[in-house]
Structure 1
Amino acid sequence: MTPIVPPGPERAPLAIEAIRDVERRALAELDAAVTPAEVHDVAVRHVKEFVDALTHQTIAARQVAASIAEREDDARRRERVLAHLAADSRDESVPLGIALTRSGWTRRLVGADGAIVRAEGRVTTVGEVPGDEGVSAVLEWVGSRDEEVVVAHDMAVTAPGIAASLPGVLAVLGIALPDGQALVWLRHQPPATWSERDVDDAVALRGHLVEALYLRGRKEVRATEALQRSLLPGEMPAVDGWHLQARYDAAGAGLVGGDWYDALLLPTGKVALVVGDVTGHGLQAAATMGQLRNTLRAALMTTQDIAAAAERLCEIAALTLPGEVATVVVALLDPATGQVEHVSLGHPPLLVVGPRGEATWGPRADAPPLGIAAERPPAVRLDVPDGGALVLYSDGLVERRGESIRVGLSRLERAFRAGSAADVDDVVRSTRDPGSADDATLLVLRRG
């Protein structure tokens, strides 16, 4: 009896060979048959074998076709799910974590019982997931593996320490994303083994998510840049006998920080100059900068005492912006006399430049940075000589990694050796670290 041929595309040639074998044996036995009875017996027996083999071949062919159709259906299903997830990830009106968990597509892609997403500063879950401790543990574990795709078929064997915080979880499949972000799938029920296709789909989705995060990041950068531009002075106030110039240079790699400058002509005829630097980068830093700038403007407009204005800024920031830290310097110029009164909240010292390039650092007027302590800063006076200049700047202009700030301050002094008329763009180029991860601001007030 010819054995039944197992199903599968690779088995089809074997089934055909079984039929041919029946044919070869039948012909050989017919050649050996002598009597009509022997011929009849051979013919009947092999016709039955041929019919059986043909039946098995037909069954095998149908099973092969069904197997192929099932694989094709599964491939189309996975492609459809992947397409939905790629489209959802590009919906920038929704946080990425919510976009990936608000429907069942993420779990359905690899047949998971639960999924965890850490993206854009938040953690989002869907399905069966452990408690907060377990969620944090598995996210940190995936992020620490230094692999783009992490596959664990048996967590008790692969990471027993992590498995202890994941009750009921048998297997983990994770994809690491830029900046510590990640997507993790969990399986609670056997079979827990991730298939090769599961892993391939995870890799494909990772490519879509990396692109989506880049596009979302560019949108935030554009929003931050637009906000920052809207908060910087459109033009400098015109002051008889004085000339104002300012430059802002964003950080490398497209980062936008919290630097700002301002020049405000007050009702008294005096001019208020401000340079500030909020800790951090991105939209949050720019938004904080905007609130501080507007609060300080209002305070300067309502009081002639810049120490009181700075104190008011600290008090309001402590109430409305808890946890935010910034350095600020405020200088109040009397254009008629050249006298400047200034206060500093943890900011680098002012630089006074003489007409022939002699440079001296203004008196210290230090108080703690804004956000560290809300106290009234001391005010200090200085004079800008005829033909001289007053230079305000942020630390991004003078600081370089691995270098003392004193070296950067000396570099700024040398940039003005040609005199107060030194070109501001040349000053920025000669003092700024082009690879700095901090933004830089320069504000120069020239007399005469």
Structure 2
Amino acid sequence: MHTSRHAQPRRTSQAARRSRTSDGGPRGGDFCVVVALPDGRTGVGIGDVAGHGAPVAGLMVRLRAAMRAEAAGGTAPAVLLQRLGALLGALDPDAMATAAYAVVDPATRTAVHASAGHLPFVCAAGGGAWVVQAPVGPPLGVCDDIRHEEQVTALPEGATLLACTDGLVERRGEDLDAGVQRLCRAVRDHAAADVADHVDAVFATLAPGSSDDVTLVGVRPAAPAGRWSLRLGAAPTRVGSPWQR
């Protein structure tokens, strides 16, 4: 007897990212990656090398390439950050950077994530937006052999997971929590059916007020479809309550 097996449709993820350097040049200290993993998950990472100028841009390029390679290889978030920290220490013992990385699984609607001194991820769903509370380890380059802690976060149906660099929220003379609350409102008020539209609207609202490098990235696990797809915006990073450092 001949039997046939129908492949189960994979769930899809949409992603979009926007960035701008402080001087309008091609490279700054911010970086982000979005990587389609073979099993249908999405790796999304973001980082910010402290400082400005050509040396910082050079470190950014190396860290971004390393993050993309580690993500594509399926490296777990905590291990990925540990390896990035070791690389930064080898490249420049005096340099420092923040970074965060998450693996989003559309099949289970979960995100496994870890942070090295970076702003937390933001989750938007159901007309609201909130900080994804999680442990935050030391920045890259601060200590040797850091063991970062991972957390698993459930994502509501239709949720968007976003991350940004501090240039999007920090303003001179203002407490950072005020900037995080402003991000919260923008993420909530500019929710859209398309991830690229959502990211574009939030970026257009907040980026003009910054004189720093700015990066924003968003990923949304979508409904089942016939094949896995990843959509990126044409261009090219916690919101709610006080967050942990």
* TM-score range normalised by the length of the shorter chain: 0.7 to 0.9
Q: As a proportion of its length, which structure holds more helix?
A: 1
Structure 2 unaligned blocks of 5 or more: 1-9, 223-245
Equivalent position of 2:218 in the other structure = 444
The alpha-carbon deviation at position 242 of structure 1 amounts to: 2.4
Map 1:92-171 onto structure 2 (within 5 A).
Answer: none
> Which of 189, 194, 203 matches 1:418?
189
Equivalent residues of 2:33, 2:67 under 8 A apart:
no
- Tell me the equivalent position of 1:141: none
> How far, CA to CA, are the matches of 1:384 and 1:410 in structure 2?
20
1:432 to 207, 212, 220: 207
Shift of 1:443: 0.4
RMSD: 2.1
2:140 match: secondary structure: coil
Identity %: 34
Give the Cα–Cα distance (whole angstroms) in 2 for the partners of residues 444 and 299 of structure 1: 20
Q: What residue in structure 2 maps to residue 248 of structure 1?
A: 19
Match of 1:360 among 130, 134, 144: 130
Residue number in structure 1 paired with 2:143: 373
In the alignment, the residues of structure 1 paired with residue 155 and residue 191 of structure 2 have an alpha-carbon distance, to the nearest angstrom, of 11
Match of 2:107 in 1: 336
What corresponds to 1:407 in structure 2? 178
Contact 1:322 1:371 in 2 (8 A): yes
Q: Aligned residue pairs: how many?
A: 208
User: Structure 2 vs 1, CA of residues 302 and 241 (structure 1 numbering), >3 Å: closer, same or farther?
Assistant: closer
AA aligned to 1:399 is E
In the other structure, the counterpart of 2:52 is 281
CA distance, structure 1, for counterparts of residue 164 and residue 221 of structure 2: 18
Give how far 1:442 is off.
Answer: 0.6
Q: Matches of 2:108 and 2:191 in 1, distance apart?
A: 18
Deviation (angstroms), 1:433: 4.6
TM-score (norm 1): 0.44
Contact preservation (8 Å) 1:338, 1:385? yes
Q: Which has the larger radius of gyration?
A: 1
Secondary structure of the structure 2 residue equivalent to 1:331: strand
1:259 deviates by 0.5
Distance in 2 between the 1:304 and 1:256 partners?
26
| Equivalent position SS for 1:332 | strand
CA contact (8 A) 2:13 2:42 kept: no
Query: Paired residue for 1:262?
Result: 33
Residues 257, 438 of structure 1: 8 Å contact kept: no
CA 1:290–1:373: 2 relative to 1, 3 Å: same
In the other structure, the counterpart of 2:90 is: 319
Call closer, same or farther: CA 1:390–1:303 in 2, change over 3 Å. closer
Please say if residues 363 and 380 of structure 1, whose CA atoms lie closer than 8 Å, have aligned partners that are also in contact: no
Give the alignment's TM-score, normalised by structure 2.
Answer: 0.78
Query: Where has structure 1 moved over 6 Å in runs of 4 or more?
Result: none
CA contact (8 A) 1:299 1:313 kept: no
